Structure 1
Amino acid sequence: RFLQEARTLVKLDHPNVVRATRFLRENNTAYLVQEFLAGRDMEEWLRSRSRRPSQAELDKILVPILSALELVHENKILHRDIKPANIFIRKEDHSPVLIDFGASRLSIGEHTGTTALIASPGYSPSEAYSGKTSLQGPWSDVYALAATLYRAISGKPPSDATLRMIEDDYVPAAQLVGKSSSYRPEFLAAIDWGLSVRHQDRPQTIAAFKEALLAGAPQVAAQTPAGRTPAAGGDETRIAPPPPSAPAEAAARTGSSNRTLGFAAAVVLAVAAAGGAYTLLQTGGDDGGGVIPPATQQSATPEATPGPPPRQTAEDPAARIKQLAQGGQPDPGVTECDRLAADWPDPNAVARVVDWDDLEPEKAVPACEKAYRDFPGIQRFRHQLAYALDRQGENAKAVEHFRALADAGYRSAMRRLGIAYYDGSGIAKDEKRGVEWLERAANAGDGRAAGILAEHYETGGETIAKDKAKSDSWYRRALEIYRKDAENGLYHAAYKIGEYHEFGYGVPKNFETAREWYLRGARDDNDPNAMERLGLIYQHGRGTDVDYGEALKWYRRAADLKSSLAMNQIGWLYHQGLGVEKDEREAISWYTRAAEAGNATAMANLAWSYDYGSGTSVDHEKAAEWYLKAYLNGESLEDVTPEAGKIVQRILKERGFFNGETNGVWGESTKQALQAYFDDVNR
């Protein structure tokens, strides 16, 4: 029996399974020789750390181990003693290896339906204590792996399964780590599922457990066993967050913990002559595993995968995983948070996107806080909350959320985190780290991230050199992504393709092609950005005749969709009497709407109107107020009357930024005071 199992172990050719190189009979016993491994086990790695491992760090261990277990189970073998001490981390590349296969620990009693009792408190499932082979199967290894992950995120394994059968004090993983953790909700829910006390309630196969654990995760490359064909899609670009502290690096910080451990120079298994029983005589441990007994082989691949209630059949695993992530709650559909803070191009968005300039954080933040509180498993609510916080100026809080989501593989959060690093918004400025995150987002299919990279290489930065070849390459990549998005009906993609053709980003300028794409965006997507560009094309005659009436038509449509740019342009057309009868009072009305919606150009136009009495009576106080608002939003101050200028200087003096004479002269000291005021408000 031992020799049969030894032959099976030698055949297991997987980079994440300890390699058995040969077996032999000598001295009235049998020997199994295994490879030498340098490094340390996962338990030692966890103990050496001052913080929990990140989601990315766990995924780098988890994905290869899941792949290894799939192969092990395909060969009808159970490990039966998975725990952190039996997952080894190689020193040279930090890859994980499943060790301590104890098929040799099985007694001759297996042939009669019982096994030697092998149990590790906290890690072994309840059925491991029975000794009955009929109760053990892949679901037994699922429990042990779930307990290993639970120990990784909590610092200790769950209570022993035998105690949980009497009084279950289990604390759900999500409750254990708290809402602010960076772990995927699906990952935490899957751990809870895997730790179900009754074996019937767990995932019945490693494949089912893997699907639940990795739901919503970025692709992480798993090792492909020699001689096996990679799954479809293996050649696709794979992505992961920036490398976390590698296990060896973490150990280096602990000094003596970073020892080199030699494992299995030779594992010697002696078979007792009497009765054919055999015992493990292994250097460095006494842990065991087992072969999947014939009685359980059929039940290892059930027709339906049971899960925690409410249950889903195998025909709808995605829905079941989604319910796990949301604690059984259904997706609420379009919420106020979605309407107020949908980001673009977020493939998870369910409402019309809200541009940065149009986002109203005073409304969006509380709406998204509620949505995230009520549905913590739905990642888009957390992302939209971060987007709103960022707009509100709570940049550091926003970055915390973006980082957690980016670590969990949320594409749009990767882009937002890259922008934060590049600009130094809410986090120490690090252009190279920003580029790294933007590249990860772009390689995951985020066209906007690719476009931002193109702009960075086009202009250069403090540490990023100008590089026209890279800029052109990223523009082309962005356009490629947008074309694919447009084919798939993704909102806003047609507009972006039009923009690239209008301004010559990655392609020669072509106003006619741009106009065609804008029309498609306006018609198919009802996209106000496309309508704005159509208005500007007709207003300025870009690739077509000037047509103020047509421009006004598109501006009105965009304004109906709350476009502040369009509102300002309508005001300007009324002010000039182009395409419509001149009406300065109507112009003031449109400028006011646009300015109150946050449009800086409209603020400047409104200030000028009050300053010079265009469409309204002269009001230098209101003019000064709007001049300052326009300046704080990025507009330069031009043609300010001395009367309004004096008021601006007075306000700056009252707020401690100006100590010169309030004479309305726009000199250097006034400009410096304005800049100081701007820096203070936007700090």
Structure 2
Amino acid sequence: MTRVGAGLFALALLASPLDALAAPNPPSIVPPTMDQTLKSVDPKVAPKGFSRDLPTPYTPNAEGLRPASTANADMAYGAYQRGRYKTAFREASKRIETNPKDAAALTLLGELYNQGLGVKQDPKRALEWYRLAAGLGDAHAMASLGLMAMDGRGQAKDQKAGKHWLEQASEKGEASASYNLALLQLSSGKPEDVVTAAALFEKAAKTELAPAQHDLGVLYLQGRGVAKDPAKAADYFRRAADNGDLAGEVEFAILLFNGTGVAKDEARAARYFLHAAARGNAIAQNRVARLYVVGRGVNKNLVEAGAWNLAAAAQGLSDAWLDQSLTGLTKEDRTRAEALGAERAKVQP
């Protein structure tokens, strides 16, 4: 799954046991809190009921190399951002002919070969261009070399070399390198490394890197590597959501609904859930369906509840309580719900 050519791998928010909004007797009443469906950043120490997957490495892409104003004035990077990859390749090649030490152009050629954009994908050629750019101090090229070494792309896997490249890139302020180094620290399972990981997440979060903001929010909510602080967790989840992170959007909605670290606001929480549901998140679809059943944060609407329940079920997230709550739908309303649910099920995160 990529965004804009190179590979920003989305952090998948997996479902933990779905007792959120679980209804006591009678089933028409919803308890006042939702469960926290965090994607833990530590698969070994995840609290009971939390999913245990590690986030996926964030792969940098050439689009983030230049501020928009510079990229638009630069024919090579401007062409890249518009998806005109052959033009980007041609213009970058011209720049290198004029100046063999043009690190930005060298990096762009590495990116194009790495992703197979406008040229045949060739990891070994990508390495050659990235190495030339890294030798000239280009942080993006260093970060890409780090991930390629760890993945064994175009070369034998070399974790030590990969980490070294990431460290160099992080020191130069490359956010994706700081983020991936944080993931490496977390994988050790050592408490002191969690502290280091938190600091690296924070460094990346300051650049508005959404996955880092989400994961730092997880640590603040759990009190791991940092002092437990639900308010800071909520703030980082909000920032991640505002920067397009689907996991952060769902987490912030849960905190809003519960009034954890942020003023309780069910209507605002519902809006975040609805936005995430529309983007294809199954957990959000399930939560929205439950809200529509009981009229919390939204007006009660069993057709909408049925539609969102079907959309979530299409992704494998079934809910017996919702199924039972919707048995009273008329034949006409059920047909409407099924049509809406089928349309929404086409949208995948």
Give runs of aligned pairs for residues 605-616 of structure 1, distance below 5 A.
605-613=283-291, 615=296, 616=298
1:510 to 179, 193, 218: 193
1:401 to 81, 84, 88: 88
In structure 2, the partner of 1:429 is: 121
Q: Is the 8 A contact 2:167 2:181 kept in 1?
A: yes
TM-score (norm 2): 0.55
Matched, 1:623 2:304: no
In structure 1, the partner of 2:12 is: none
Higher relative contact order (CA 8 A, sep 6+): 2
Letter in 2 for 1:444: L
In structure 2, the partner of 1:574 is: 256
Q: CA deviation at 1:444?
A: 3.2
Letter in 2 for 1:345: L
What SS class does the counterpart of residue 638 from structure 1 fall into?
coil
Note closer, same or farther for the CA distance 1:386–1:538 as it changes in structure 2 (3 Å cut): same
Q: Distance in 2 between matches of 1:613 and 1:506?
A: 37
In structure 2, the partner of 1:589 is: 271
Matched, 1:538 2:220: yes
Q: Distance in 2 between matches of 1:534 and 1:505?
A: 12
What SS class does the counterpart of residue 512 from structure 1 fall into?
helix
Matched, 1:497 2:178: yes
2:244 to 564, 582, 588: 564
Q: Distance in 1 between matches of 2:106 and 2:337?
A: 44
Q: Distance in 2 between matches of 1:382 and 1:481?
A: 23
Judging by fraction of residues, say which structure has more strand.
Answer: 1
Give runs of aligned pairs for residues 633-652 of structure 1, distance below 5 A.
637-639=315-317, 647=339
Judging by fraction of residues, say which structure has more helix.
Answer: 2
Q: Distance in 2 between matches of 1:433 and 1:621?
A: 52
Q: Is the 8 A contact 2:112 2:126 kept in 1?
A: yes
Note closer, same or farther for the CA distance 1:506–1:568 as it changes in structure 2 (3 Å cut): closer
Q: Is the 8 A contact 1:421 1:430 kept in 2?
A: yes
In structure 2, the partner of 1:41 is: none
In structure 1, the partner of 2:77 is: 383
- Which of these two proteins has the greater Rg computed from alpha carbons? 1
Q: CA deviation at 1:382?
A: 4.2
Q: Distance in 1 between matches of 2:79 and 2:160?
A: 33
Letter in 1 for 2:184: F
Letter in 2 for 1:448: H
Q: Give the length in aligned residue pairs.
A: 257
Q: CA deviation at 1:473?
A: 0.8
Matched, 1:551 2:218: no
Q: CA deviation at 1:496?
A: 4.0
Note closer, same or farther for the CA distance 1:570–1:649 as it changes in structure 2 (3 Å cut): closer
Q: Distance in 2 between matches of 1:567 and 1:400?
A: 37
Q: Is the 8 A contact 2:285 2:312 kept in 1?
A: yes
Give runs of aligned pairs for residues 206-605 of structure 1, distance below 5 A.
343-346=63-66, 349=67, 378-379=73-74, 382-387=76-81, 389-390=82-83, 397-409=84-96, 411-460=103-152, 464=154, 466-468=156-158, 471-483=159-171, 485-486=172-173, 493=175, 496-497=177-178, 499-504=180-185, 510-519=193-202, 527=208, 529=210, 531-557=213-239, 562-565=242-245, 566-575=248-257, 577-580=259-262, 583-593=265-275, 603-605=281-283
Q: Is the 8 A contact 1:624 1:648 kept in 2?
A: no
In structure 2, the partner of 1:252 is: none
Note closer, same or farther for the CA distance 1:517–1:460 as it changes in structure 2 (3 Å cut): closer
Query: Kindly, what percent of the aligned residue pairs are identical?
Result: 19
Q: Is the 8 A contact 1:624 1:647 kept in 2?
A: no
Letter in 2 for 1:500: L
RMSD: 4.6
Note closer, same or farther for the CA distance 1:571–1:466 as it changes in structure 2 (3 Å cut): farther
In structure 1, the partner of 2:9 is: none
Q: Is the 8 A contact 1:498 1:516 kept in 2?
A: no
Q: CA deviation at 1:383?
A: 0.8
Q: Is the 8 A contact 1:412 1:446 kept in 2?
A: yes
Q: Distance in 2 between matches of 1:514 and 1:406?
A: 38
Q: Distance in 1 between matches of 2:224 and 2:258?
A: 20
What SS class does the counterpart of residue 467 from structure 1 fall into?
coil
Q: Distance in 2 between matches of 1:551 and 1:429?
A: 40
Q: Is the 8 A contact 2:310 2:338 kept in 1?
A: no
Letter in 1 for 2:133: A
Is there any run of 5+ residues in structure 2 with no aligned partner, and where?
1-60, 97-101, 324-333
Note closer, same or farther for the CA distance 1:639–1:604 as it changes in structure 2 (3 Å cut): closer
Letter in 2 for 1:449: A
CA deviations on 1:267-324 (whole Å, 9 max, x unpaired) are xxxxxxxxxxxxxxxxxxxxxxxxxxxxxxxxxxxxxxxxxxxxxxxxxxxxxxxxxx
Q: Is the 8 A contact 1:382 1:401 kept in 2?
A: yes
Letter in 2 for 1:513: T
What SS class does the counterpart of residue 428 from structure 1 fall into?
coil
Q: Distance in 1 between matches of 2:226 and 2:160?
A: 27
Note closer, same or farther for the CA distance 1:420–1:500 as it changes in structure 2 (3 Å cut): same
Note closer, same or farther for the CA distance 1:402–1:585 as it changes in structure 2 (3 Å cut): farther
Q: Distance in 1 between matches of 2:77 and 2:170?
A: 22
Note closer, same or farther for the CA distance 1:639–1:521 as it changes in structure 2 (3 Å cut): closer
Q: CA deviation at 1:543?
A: 1.4
Q: Is the 8 A contact 1:475 1:506 kept in 2?
A: no
In structure 1, the partner of 2:47 is: none
Note closer, same or farther for the CA distance 1:499–1:479 as it changes in structure 2 (3 Å cut): same
Q: CA deviation at 1:639?
A: 0.8
Q: Is the 8 A contact 2:309 2:341 kept in 1?
A: no
Q: Distance in 2 between matches of 1:450 and 1:585?
A: 45
Q: Is the 8 A contact 1:498 1:513 kept in 2?
A: no
Q: CA deviation at 1:606?
A: 3.8
Q: Is the 8 A contact 2:220 2:228 kept in 1?
A: yes
What SS class does the counterpart of residue 64 from structure 2 fall into?
coil
Q: Distance in 1 between matches of 2:144 and 2:342?
A: 40
Q: Is the 8 A contact 1:450 1:477 kept in 2?
A: yes
Note closer, same or farther for the CA distance 1:502–1:413 as it changes in structure 2 (3 Å cut): same
Q: Distance in 1 between matches of 2:203 and 2:120?
A: 41
Q: Is the 8 A contact 1:606 1:626 kept in 2?
A: no
Note closer, same or farther for the CA distance 1:403–1:648 as it changes in structure 2 (3 Å cut): farther
CA deviations on 1:194-253 (whole Å, 9 max, x unpaired) are xxxxxxxxxxxxxxxxxxxxxxxxxxxxxxxxxxxxxxxxxxxxxxxxxxxxxxxxxxxx
Is there any run of 5+ residues in structure 1 with no aligned partner, and where?
1-340, 354-367, 372-377, 391-396, 487-491, 629-635, 653-663, 665-673, 679-683
Q: CA deviation at 1:551?
A: 0.7
